[in-house]
Structure 1
Amino acid sequence: MELLQKILELDTELFLYLNSFHNDFWDTIMLMATRKETWLPFYAVILFYFVKKYREKSILIVIFLALTILASDQISVLIKHWVERLRPVYNPEIEHLVHNVLRKGGKYGFVSSHAANTFGIYVFTSRIFKNRSYSILILLWALLLSYSRIYSGVHYPTDILFGALLGWGIGWIMFKTLMFLDIHFFGTRMPKIETTGLAIKQSGTVFLVFLTLTTTVLIVVSILHYYNYL
Protein backbone atom coordinates (compact mmCIF):
# COMPACT_ATOMS: atom_id res chain seq x y z
CA MET A 1 0.00 0.00 0.00
CA GLU A 2 2.88 2.37 0.76
CA LEU A 3 4.32 1.74 -2.70
CA LEU A 4 0.94 2.39 -4.32
CA GLN A 5 0.55 5.59 -2.32
CA LYS A 6 4.00 6.73 -3.41
CA ILE A 7 3.17 6.03 -7.06
CA LEU A 8 -0.08 8.00 -6.75
CA GLU A 9 1.76 10.91 -5.16
CA LEU A 10 4.35 10.96 -7.95
CA ASP A 11 1.54 10.68 -10.49
CA THR A 12 -0.18 13.71 -8.99
CA GLU A 13 3.05 15.72 -8.91
CA LEU A 14 3.78 14.91 -12.55
CA PHE A 15 0.21 15.79 -13.52
CA LEU A 16 0.35 19.17 -11.79
CA TYR A 17 3.70 19.90 -13.43
CA LEU A 18 2.49 19.04 -16.94
CA ASN A 19 -0.87 20.73 -16.41
CA SER A 20 0.79 23.97 -15.29
CA PHE A 21 2.08 24.82 -18.79
CA HIS A 22 -0.83 26.63 -20.36
CA ASN A 23 -2.07 29.86 -21.93
CA ASP A 24 -5.16 30.97 -23.86
CA PHE A 25 -3.67 30.07 -27.25
CA TRP A 26 -2.75 26.51 -26.28
CA ASP A 27 -6.04 26.11 -24.43
CA THR A 28 -7.80 26.52 -27.76
CA ILE A 29 -5.34 24.26 -29.61
CA MET A 30 -5.67 21.45 -27.09
CA LEU A 31 -9.43 21.82 -26.98
CA MET A 32 -9.53 21.35 -30.75
CA ALA A 33 -7.00 18.50 -30.63
CA THR A 34 -9.12 16.51 -28.22
CA ARG A 35 -12.26 16.86 -30.37
CA LYS A 36 -12.98 13.97 -32.76
CA GLU A 37 -14.45 16.34 -35.35
CA THR A 38 -11.11 18.08 -35.83
CA TRP A 39 -9.57 14.94 -37.28
CA LEU A 40 -12.31 13.94 -39.73
CA PRO A 41 -10.15 14.68 -42.84
CA PHE A 42 -7.35 12.58 -41.31
CA TYR A 43 -9.74 9.69 -40.67
CA ALA A 44 -11.14 10.05 -44.19
CA VAL A 45 -7.75 9.63 -45.89
CA ILE A 46 -7.02 6.52 -43.80
CA LEU A 47 -10.36 5.00 -44.80
CA PHE A 48 -9.67 5.97 -48.42
CA TYR A 49 -6.46 3.95 -48.44
CA PHE A 50 -8.20 1.01 -46.78
CA VAL A 51 -10.53 0.90 -49.79
CA LYS A 52 -7.80 1.64 -52.36
CA LYS A 53 -5.35 -0.97 -51.06
CA TYR A 54 -7.64 -3.78 -49.92
CA ARG A 55 -10.74 -3.36 -52.11
CA GLU A 56 -13.61 -5.59 -50.85
CA LYS A 57 -11.54 -6.66 -47.85
CA SER A 58 -11.65 -3.05 -46.68
CA ILE A 59 -15.14 -3.77 -45.32
CA LEU A 60 -13.68 -6.42 -43.02
CA ILE A 61 -10.85 -4.10 -41.99
CA VAL A 62 -13.23 -1.24 -41.17
CA ILE A 63 -15.43 -3.61 -39.14
CA PHE A 64 -12.46 -4.71 -37.04
CA LEU A 65 -11.25 -1.13 -36.65
CA ALA A 66 -14.72 -0.20 -35.39
CA LEU A 67 -14.61 -3.18 -33.01
CA THR A 68 -11.21 -2.00 -31.77
CA ILE A 69 -12.59 1.44 -30.94
CA LEU A 70 -15.80 0.04 -29.44
CA ALA A 71 -13.98 -2.48 -27.25
CA SER A 72 -11.38 0.08 -26.11
CA ASP A 73 -14.08 2.60 -25.27
CA GLN A 74 -16.46 0.29 -23.44
CA ILE A 75 -13.82 -1.66 -21.50
CA SER A 76 -12.20 1.60 -20.38
CA VAL A 77 -15.60 2.82 -19.15
CA LEU A 78 -16.11 -0.41 -17.20
CA ILE A 79 -12.67 0.00 -15.60
CA LYS A 80 -13.52 3.59 -14.66
CA HIS A 81 -16.57 2.50 -12.70
CA TRP A 82 -14.73 -0.45 -11.16
CA VAL A 83 -11.67 1.51 -9.96
CA GLU A 84 -13.56 4.76 -9.20
CA ARG A 85 -10.52 7.01 -9.29
CA LEU A 86 -11.59 10.64 -9.38
CA ARG A 87 -10.44 12.80 -12.25
CA PRO A 88 -8.03 15.57 -11.18
CA VAL A 89 -10.76 18.19 -11.67
CA TYR A 90 -12.96 16.33 -9.16
CA ASN A 91 -10.23 15.59 -6.61
CA PRO A 92 -10.96 17.91 -3.64
CA GLU A 93 -7.29 17.86 -2.61
CA ILE A 94 -5.98 19.40 -5.84
CA GLU A 95 -8.97 20.69 -7.84
CA HIS A 96 -8.09 24.30 -6.95
CA LEU A 97 -4.68 23.75 -8.61
CA VAL A 98 -5.99 22.14 -11.78
CA HIS A 99 -6.21 24.09 -15.03
CA ASN A 100 -9.34 22.74 -16.72
CA VAL A 101 -10.16 23.50 -20.35
CA LEU A 102 -13.94 23.85 -20.83
CA ARG A 103 -15.29 20.39 -19.86
CA LYS A 104 -14.66 18.21 -16.82
CA GLY A 105 -16.08 14.99 -18.24
CA GLY A 106 -17.38 12.12 -16.13
CA LYS A 107 -16.49 11.73 -12.47
CA TYR A 108 -13.92 8.95 -12.88
CA GLY A 109 -10.82 8.94 -15.06
CA PHE A 110 -8.88 5.66 -14.73
CA VAL A 111 -8.33 4.55 -17.44
CA SER A 112 -8.45 7.16 -20.21
CA SER A 113 -10.87 6.23 -22.98
CA HIS A 114 -9.19 8.72 -25.33
CA ALA A 115 -5.82 7.03 -24.81
CA ALA A 116 -7.34 3.57 -25.20
CA ASN A 117 -9.11 4.54 -28.42
CA THR A 118 -6.19 6.36 -30.03
CA PHE A 119 -3.61 3.71 -29.19
CA GLY A 120 -5.99 1.00 -30.35
CA ILE A 121 -6.24 2.84 -33.68
CA TYR A 122 -2.46 3.30 -33.75
CA VAL A 123 -1.63 -0.38 -33.25
CA PHE A 124 -4.36 -1.74 -35.53
CA THR A 125 -3.82 0.61 -38.48
CA SER A 126 -0.02 0.56 -38.29
CA ARG A 127 -0.05 -3.25 -38.43
CA ILE A 128 -2.45 -3.11 -41.38
CA PHE A 129 -0.47 -0.55 -43.40
CA LYS A 130 3.01 -1.85 -42.46
CA ASN A 131 4.66 1.48 -43.24
CA ARG A 132 7.27 2.99 -40.91
CA SER A 133 6.49 6.62 -41.76
CA TYR A 134 2.78 6.09 -41.21
CA SER A 135 3.43 4.26 -37.92
CA ILE A 136 5.51 7.16 -36.58
CA LEU A 137 2.90 9.71 -37.67
CA ILE A 138 -0.06 7.87 -36.13
CA LEU A 139 1.94 7.32 -32.92
CA LEU A 140 2.63 11.07 -32.68
CA TRP A 141 -1.09 11.68 -33.24
CA ALA A 142 -1.99 9.27 -30.43
CA LEU A 143 0.54 10.92 -28.10
CA LEU A 144 -0.78 14.41 -28.93
CA LEU A 145 -4.38 13.47 -28.18
CA SER A 146 -3.34 11.69 -25.00
CA TYR A 147 -1.31 14.67 -23.80
CA SER A 148 -4.25 16.97 -24.52
CA ARG A 149 -6.18 15.12 -21.82
CA ILE A 150 -3.52 15.93 -19.22
CA TYR A 151 -3.33 19.52 -20.46
CA SER A 152 -7.12 19.81 -20.17
CA GLY A 153 -6.96 18.68 -16.54
CA VAL A 154 -9.11 15.57 -16.89
CA HIS A 155 -6.53 12.76 -16.63
CA TYR A 156 -3.46 11.82 -14.62
CA PRO A 157 -0.42 10.44 -16.49
CA THR A 158 -1.17 6.91 -15.24
CA ASP A 159 -4.73 7.20 -16.60
CA ILE A 160 -3.11 7.81 -19.98
CA LEU A 161 -0.45 5.11 -19.58
CA PHE A 162 -2.83 2.30 -18.68
CA GLY A 163 -5.42 3.50 -21.19
CA ALA A 164 -2.72 3.33 -23.87
CA LEU A 165 -1.73 -0.18 -22.78
CA LEU A 166 -5.37 -1.27 -22.90
CA GLY A 167 -5.83 0.14 -26.40
CA TRP A 168 -2.51 -1.37 -27.50
CA GLY A 169 -3.60 -4.82 -26.36
CA ILE A 170 -7.05 -4.58 -27.94
CA GLY A 171 -5.61 -3.28 -31.22
CA TRP A 172 -3.15 -6.18 -31.34
CA ILE A 173 -5.85 -8.77 -30.57
CA MET A 174 -8.16 -7.37 -33.23
CA PHE A 175 -5.37 -7.35 -35.81
CA LYS A 176 -4.41 -10.96 -35.03
CA THR A 177 -8.06 -12.02 -35.24
CA LEU A 178 -8.40 -10.27 -38.59
CA MET A 179 -5.26 -12.00 -39.88
CA PHE A 180 -6.62 -15.39 -38.79
CA LEU A 181 -9.86 -14.80 -40.69
CA ASP A 182 -8.05 -13.49 -43.76
CA ILE A 183 -5.66 -16.45 -43.93
CA HIS A 184 -8.14 -19.24 -43.14
CA PHE A 185 -11.37 -17.93 -44.69
CA PHE A 186 -10.44 -15.30 -47.29
CA GLY A 187 -7.00 -16.55 -48.33
CA THR A 188 -7.99 -17.12 -51.96
CA ARG A 189 -9.12 -13.53 -52.41
CA MET A 190 -6.62 -10.87 -53.33
CA PRO A 191 -5.01 -8.77 -52.09
CA LYS A 192 -3.72 -10.52 -48.98
CA ILE A 193 -3.81 -8.21 -45.98
CA GLU A 194 -0.73 -9.91 -44.54
CA THR A 195 1.51 -8.89 -47.44
CA THR A 196 -0.11 -5.65 -48.64
CA GLY A 197 0.93 -2.33 -47.13
CA LEU A 198 0.95 1.40 -47.67
CA ALA A 199 3.42 2.65 -50.30
CA ILE A 200 5.88 5.43 -49.51
CA LYS A 201 4.06 7.92 -51.74
CA GLN A 202 0.73 7.05 -50.11
CA SER A 203 2.13 7.53 -46.60
CA GLY A 204 3.37 10.90 -47.83
CA THR A 205 -0.19 11.82 -48.77
CA VAL A 206 -1.39 10.87 -45.28
CA PHE A 207 1.37 13.02 -43.78
CA LEU A 208 0.45 15.93 -46.07
CA VAL A 209 -3.19 15.78 -44.95
CA PHE A 210 -2.09 15.68 -41.30
CA LEU A 211 0.34 18.58 -41.79
CA THR A 212 -2.23 20.66 -43.67
CA LEU A 213 -4.85 20.03 -41.01
CA THR A 214 -2.62 20.89 -38.05
CA THR A 215 -1.14 23.94 -39.80
CA THR A 216 -4.61 25.23 -40.67
CA VAL A 217 -5.74 24.86 -37.05
CA LEU A 218 -2.65 26.71 -35.79
CA ILE A 219 -3.09 29.56 -38.29
CA VAL A 220 -6.84 29.97 -37.70
CA VAL A 221 -6.46 29.94 -33.91
CA SER A 222 -3.57 32.43 -34.14
CA ILE A 223 -5.66 34.82 -36.23
CA LEU A 224 -8.68 34.52 -33.95
CA HIS A 225 -6.58 35.20 -30.87
CA TYR A 226 -4.75 38.08 -32.55
CA TYR A 227 -8.04 39.86 -33.28
CA ASN A 228 -9.48 38.91 -29.88
CA TYR A 229 -12.26 36.73 -31.27
CA LEU A 230 -11.40 34.06 -28.68
Structure 2
Amino acid sequence: MNILQNIDNWDKNAVAWINAHHTAWLDSLMVFASKTNVWIPFYAILLILLLRIHKQKSVFFVLGIALVITLADQTTSSLMKPFFERLRPCHWQGWQVPLHLPDGCGGQYGFASSHAANTFGLAMFWWLWLKKFYRMAWLLFLWAGVVSFSRVYLAAHYPTDVLVGAMLGAFFAWAVFKFPEKVLKV
Protein backbone atom coordinates (compact mmCIF):
# COMPACT_ATOMS: atom_id res chain seq x y z
CA MET A 1 0.00 0.00 0.00
CA ASN A 2 1.51 3.33 -0.96
CA ILE A 3 1.41 6.59 0.98
CA LEU A 4 -1.46 8.07 -1.09
CA GLN A 5 -3.61 5.02 -0.34
CA ASN A 6 -2.78 5.35 3.35
CA ILE A 7 -3.78 9.03 3.33
CA ASP A 8 -6.97 8.20 1.42
CA ASN A 9 -7.86 5.46 3.92
CA TRP A 10 -7.14 7.77 6.85
CA ASP A 11 -9.29 10.49 5.28
CA LYS A 12 -12.20 8.13 4.74
CA ASN A 13 -11.95 6.71 8.25
CA ALA A 14 -11.83 10.20 9.75
CA VAL A 15 -14.92 11.36 7.82
CA ALA A 16 -16.81 8.17 8.71
CA TRP A 17 -15.95 8.52 12.42
CA ILE A 18 -16.81 12.25 12.60
CA ASN A 19 -19.99 11.78 10.59
CA ALA A 20 -21.12 8.88 12.79
CA HIS A 21 -20.98 11.14 15.86
CA HIS A 22 -23.50 13.67 14.59
CA THR A 23 -26.16 15.25 16.80
CA ALA A 24 -29.11 17.49 15.93
CA TRP A 25 -27.67 20.57 17.65
CA LEU A 26 -24.25 20.07 16.07
CA ASP A 27 -25.87 19.54 12.66
CA SER A 28 -27.48 22.98 12.96
CA LEU A 29 -24.27 24.62 14.15
CA MET A 30 -22.15 23.06 11.39
CA VAL A 31 -24.64 23.94 8.64
CA PHE A 32 -24.70 27.51 9.99
CA ALA A 33 -20.89 27.71 10.14
CA SER A 34 -20.55 26.39 6.61
CA LYS A 35 -22.84 28.98 4.99
CA THR A 36 -20.83 31.91 3.62
CA ASN A 37 -23.68 34.43 3.66
CA VAL A 38 -24.22 34.14 7.44
CA TRP A 39 -20.73 35.58 7.95
CA ILE A 40 -21.56 38.90 6.25
CA PRO A 41 -22.26 40.68 9.59
CA PHE A 42 -18.95 39.34 10.92
CA TYR A 43 -17.14 40.70 7.84
CA ALA A 44 -18.92 44.04 8.26
CA ILE A 45 -17.73 44.30 11.88
CA LEU A 46 -14.16 43.52 10.77
CA LEU A 47 -14.38 46.19 8.07
CA ILE A 48 -15.69 48.79 10.53
CA LEU A 49 -12.93 47.90 12.98
CA LEU A 50 -10.36 48.16 10.22
CA LEU A 51 -11.64 51.58 9.12
CA ARG A 52 -11.44 52.84 12.70
CA ILE A 53 -7.87 51.57 13.08
CA HIS A 54 -6.30 52.48 9.74
CA LYS A 55 -8.66 54.96 8.10
CA GLN A 56 -7.24 55.73 4.59
CA LYS A 57 -4.78 52.83 4.61
CA SER A 58 -7.74 50.47 4.90
CA VAL A 59 -8.11 50.49 1.12
CA PHE A 60 -4.83 48.55 0.83
CA PHE A 61 -6.06 45.98 3.34
CA VAL A 62 -9.36 45.54 1.50
CA LEU A 63 -7.58 45.19 -1.85
CA GLY A 64 -5.17 42.69 -0.29
CA ILE A 65 -8.02 40.62 1.15
CA ALA A 66 -9.84 40.70 -2.20
CA LEU A 67 -6.69 39.45 -3.93
CA VAL A 68 -6.09 36.71 -1.33
CA ILE A 69 -9.69 35.47 -1.56
CA THR A 70 -9.62 35.59 -5.37
CA LEU A 71 -6.35 33.66 -5.55
CA ALA A 72 -7.42 31.10 -2.94
CA ASP A 73 -10.91 30.60 -4.31
CA GLN A 74 -9.96 30.42 -7.98
CA THR A 75 -6.97 28.16 -7.37
CA THR A 76 -9.07 25.66 -5.42
CA SER A 77 -12.30 25.89 -7.42
CA SER A 78 -11.13 26.50 -10.98
CA LEU A 79 -7.75 24.74 -11.00
CA MET A 80 -7.40 22.08 -8.31
CA LYS A 81 -10.89 20.57 -8.17
CA PRO A 82 -11.17 19.97 -11.94
CA PHE A 83 -7.53 18.84 -12.16
CA PHE A 84 -7.53 16.32 -9.29
CA GLU A 85 -11.19 15.25 -9.66
CA ARG A 86 -11.28 13.88 -6.12
CA LEU A 87 -14.88 13.11 -5.26
CA ARG A 88 -16.27 14.70 -2.14
CA PRO A 89 -16.98 12.20 0.63
CA CYS A 90 -20.71 12.65 0.07
CA HIS A 91 -20.30 11.59 -3.59
CA TRP A 92 -18.10 8.55 -2.95
CA GLN A 93 -20.19 5.39 -3.29
CA GLY A 94 -18.01 3.02 -1.22
CA TRP A 95 -19.36 3.83 2.25
CA GLN A 96 -20.43 0.79 4.23
CA VAL A 97 -22.90 2.92 6.19
CA PRO A 98 -24.67 5.83 4.47
CA LEU A 99 -23.38 9.23 5.48
CA HIS A 100 -25.54 11.65 7.42
CA LEU A 101 -25.86 14.75 5.18
CA PRO A 102 -27.77 17.53 6.97
CA ASP A 103 -26.80 20.07 4.30
CA GLY A 104 -26.96 17.97 1.13
CA CYS A 105 -23.83 17.30 -0.84
CA GLY A 106 -22.76 20.16 -3.07
CA GLY A 107 -20.38 20.00 -6.02
CA GLN A 108 -18.83 16.79 -7.22
CA TYR A 109 -15.17 17.46 -6.43
CA GLY A 110 -13.63 18.60 -3.17
CA PHE A 111 -9.83 18.80 -3.34
CA ALA A 112 -8.94 21.35 -2.06
CA SER A 113 -11.45 23.12 0.18
CA SER A 114 -12.30 26.65 -0.94
CA HIS A 115 -13.92 27.37 2.44
CA ALA A 116 -10.67 26.52 4.22
CA ALA A 117 -8.53 28.42 1.72
CA ASN A 118 -10.67 31.55 1.95
CA THR A 119 -11.12 31.62 5.72
CA PHE A 120 -7.51 30.81 6.56
CA GLY A 121 -6.37 33.30 3.91
CA LEU A 122 -8.44 36.00 5.58
CA ALA A 123 -7.25 35.04 9.07
CA MET A 124 -3.58 34.97 8.04
CA PHE A 125 -3.77 38.27 6.15
CA TRP A 126 -5.47 39.95 9.11
CA TRP A 127 -2.82 38.58 11.46
CA LEU A 128 0.05 39.73 9.23
CA TRP A 129 -1.46 43.17 8.69
CA LEU A 130 -2.53 43.90 12.25
CA LYS A 131 -0.04 42.03 14.41
CA LYS A 132 -0.69 44.22 17.42
CA PHE A 133 -4.27 42.91 17.50
CA TYR A 134 -3.31 39.30 18.28
CA ARG A 135 -6.51 38.73 20.24
CA MET A 136 -8.57 39.37 17.11
CA ALA A 137 -6.25 37.17 15.06
CA TRP A 138 -6.67 34.07 17.19
CA LEU A 139 -10.45 34.53 16.98
CA LEU A 140 -10.17 34.61 13.20
CA PHE A 141 -8.08 31.43 13.19
CA LEU A 142 -10.62 29.81 15.52
CA TRP A 143 -13.41 30.89 13.14
CA ALA A 144 -11.48 29.49 10.16
CA GLY A 145 -10.99 26.23 12.06
CA VAL A 146 -14.70 25.93 12.86
CA VAL A 147 -15.68 26.66 9.25
CA SER A 148 -13.13 24.12 8.00
CA PHE A 149 -14.20 21.46 10.51
CA SER A 150 -17.81 22.01 9.48
CA ARG A 151 -16.89 20.95 5.95
CA VAL A 152 -15.55 17.61 7.22
CA TYR A 153 -18.46 17.16 9.64
CA LEU A 154 -20.93 17.72 6.78
CA ALA A 155 -19.02 15.20 4.60
CA ALA A 156 -18.31 17.88 2.02
CA HIS A 157 -14.54 17.44 2.39
CA TYR A 158 -11.91 15.06 3.66
CA PRO A 159 -9.49 16.35 6.33
CA THR A 160 -6.67 16.61 3.77
CA ASP A 161 -8.90 18.73 1.50
CA VAL A 162 -9.29 21.15 4.38
CA LEU A 163 -5.64 21.00 5.42
CA VAL A 164 -4.36 21.72 1.91
CA GLY A 165 -6.96 24.48 1.47
CA ALA A 166 -5.92 26.09 4.77
CA MET A 167 -2.22 25.96 3.85
CA LEU A 168 -2.94 27.38 0.40
CA GLY A 169 -4.99 30.25 1.82
CA ALA A 170 -2.31 31.04 4.40
CA PHE A 171 0.37 30.94 1.69
CA PHE A 172 -1.56 33.33 -0.57
CA ALA A 173 -2.08 35.69 2.37
CA TRP A 174 1.63 35.66 3.13
CA ALA A 175 2.53 36.15 -0.56
CA VAL A 176 0.10 39.05 -1.05
CA PHE A 177 1.28 40.64 2.19
CA LYS A 178 4.99 40.26 1.34
CA PHE A 179 4.75 41.10 -2.39
CA PRO A 180 5.08 44.91 -2.03
CA GLU A 181 7.91 44.51 0.47
CA LYS A 182 9.94 41.93 -1.44
CA VAL A 183 9.23 42.74 -5.10
CA LEU A 184 8.39 46.44 -5.14
CA LYS A 185 10.85 47.26 -2.34
CA VAL A 186 8.22 49.40 -0.57
TM above 0.5, yes or no, is yes
Q: Which residue of 2 aligns with 1:172?
A: 174
In structure 2, the residue matched to 1:162 is 164
Alignment of 1:1-230 (within 5 A): 2-77=2-77, 78-94=79-95, 96-130=97-131, 131-179=133-181, 184=186
Measured in 2, the distance between the counterparts of 1:113 and 1:24 equals 26
Change over 3 Å in CA distance of 1:49–1:95 after alignment to 2: farther
1:49 deviates by 2.0
Q: 1:68 to 1:134 in 2, by over 3 A?
A: same
Q: % of aligned pairs identical?
A: 38
Q: Which is further off, 76-85 or 46-55? A: 46-55
| TM-score scaled by length of structure 1 | 0.75
Structure 1 range deviating more: 54-63 or 88-97 = 88-97
Indicate the SS of the match to 2:157.
coil
How far does the alpha carbon of each residue in 1:16-43 deviate from its partner, in whole angstroms, 9 at most, with x for none? 1112221222211111111122222211
Residue pair 1:19, 1:98 contacting (<8 A) in 2 also: yes
Q: Which has the higher mean CA deviation after the structures are superposed, 29-38 or 73-82?
A: 29-38
Distance between the aligned counterparts of 1:162 and 1:22, measured in 2?
Answer: 24
Q: What TM-score do you get using the length of structure 2 for normalisation?
A: 0.92
Of structures 1 and 2, the larger Rg is shown by 1
Name the CA shift for 1:99/1:138 in 2 (closer, same or farther; >3 Å). same
DSSP-derived class of the 1:56 partner: helix
How much does 1:133 deviate? 1.1
| Shift >4 Å, 4+ stretches | 178-183
Is the 8 Å Cα contact of residues 61 and 178 (structure 1) preserved in structure 2?
Answer: no
Unaligned runs of 5+ in 1: 185-230
Instruction: For 1:128, give the aligned amino acid.
Output: W
In the alignment, residue 82 of structure 1 is paired with which amino acid? F
Segments of structure 2 that go 5 or more residues without pairing to the other structure are none
- Deviation of 1:116 after TM superposition, in Å, equals 0.4
Question: What is the aligned length?
Answer: 184
Q: Kindly provide the amino acid, as one letter, of the partner of residue 5 in structure 2.
A: Q
Q: Is the 8 A contact 1:89 1:153 kept in 2?
A: yes
CA offset at residue 151 of structure 1?
1.0
* Per-residue CA distance 1:60-113 (angstroms, 9 max, x = gap): 210110111111000001101100000011101028532212231110000000
Q: Any idea what SS the aligned residue of 1:98 has?
A: coil
Residues 27 and 101 of structure 1 are in contact (CA less than 8 Å); yes or no, is this contact kept in structure 2? yes
Q: CA RMSD of the aligned region, Å? A: 1.8
Of 61-70 and 173-182, more deviation after overlay is shown by 173-182
Q: Give, in whole Å, the separation in 2 of the partners of 1:122 and 1:42.
A: 13
Question: CA distance change for structure 1 residues 11 and 56 in 2, over 3 Å: closer, same or farther?
Answer: same
Cα distance change on mapping 1:95 and 1:166 into 2, 3 Å = farther
State the distance in 1 between where 2:96 and 2:182 align.
48
Aligned 8 A contact 1:114 1:145 in 2: yes
